[in-house]
Structure 1
Amino acid sequence: MGLLKRMRTGDRSHPAEQYLNQGDHLHALVPAQGGLHPFSMLVIGVAALAGIVLTVDLPWVQVSLISTTVFATAAVLTMSRYRLLALTDADIVVMRTRALRPAKPVELLDRIERTAPFDIRGSAWGQIVVGDEKLWVHRRYHGHLEEADARLAAAPRGMRAASSSAYRAARAKKKVRNVGRRHR
């Protein structure tokens, strides 16, 4: 059974549930990636392979190409930000995930009110803006984003703000309580 079917039937066993409010109705979970374009690793690898093949007689060039490729791969991996977006009726819940477990969130980053539709730019990996962060979403999840846009257009204006205002009020109280505490 799919994840959303399990969640809609009342099975609240997914790790993302701990970051949702009690009254939230989850429509979709969308993994996203911030940073460089996801195909940048492919371009780096193909260019390095072509350079290594073309420089068979020059071992010092091959060693420098391999070193550069390893450095570029490490740089791309460390610059990537992995997110899981939970699309609810009125909000987008943004959670941080790890690279090797993109469906298991480890931290709640933000809860953003849906006021504008997603402007998906791109084909295989579409870029969207969530809050102030640009994220890449695979084509497989573009349908979920388009459904969320359709629900946003169909929802009355007052219904959209109810959930977010309650969240912001609770968040403000928590910030006031935690003033002066240090996080470790």
Structure 2
Amino acid sequence: MTSTIKTIALAASVAVAGAAASAATLTSGGALNIGDDASIATNIAPTSSSVGYTFTALEDMRVNDFISVSATGNQSGASIAQLTFGYTGASINDITGATLDSTIILPGSTTAFGGGTLPGFILRTGESFTFEFQNGSASTVAATMNFTTAAVPLPAGGLLLLTALAGAGAVARRKKKAQKA
């Protein structure tokens, strides 16, 4: 029985290790693996300019709930107040036209900083989404976007593990009973 439990434990650890094996930080759009982070910084030209980045999932994954966006501009906050952002994709609820949640203007300066967030979502293998910034102001805005990815929780995996452990226990009991007889 001990060898059976060791075998099951080894199989579970190999499965978990495979998901955590590759992690990269993307600085532009591209292919996403579980564990990858995206950290994109860009300058968006004035007057209705937009910049977009497309990401494609190489495996089922979750884009985590905290997609952070920050921006720096001048004009005492007027430039970043006109920055909008969002994401679109075939299988997700599109969010477009989001604005920064908060803005801080440096005292005695025209420089302002702002930040905002977007909710995460699940991507299936081969699905893509595009994150886009749009600048409606008369000056350039510097913006960043960050998110992380993780494995999609598999509730059935826990049930499968419990079933395997129960089966191993039943086999061990049957062997023990057969040895006594």
- Tell me which interval the TM-score lies in, with the shorter structure as reference length: under 0.3
Higher RCO (CA < 8 A, seq sep 6+):
2
Hey, which of these two has a bigger chunk of strand by percent? 2
The structure whose residues are more often helix, as a share, is 1
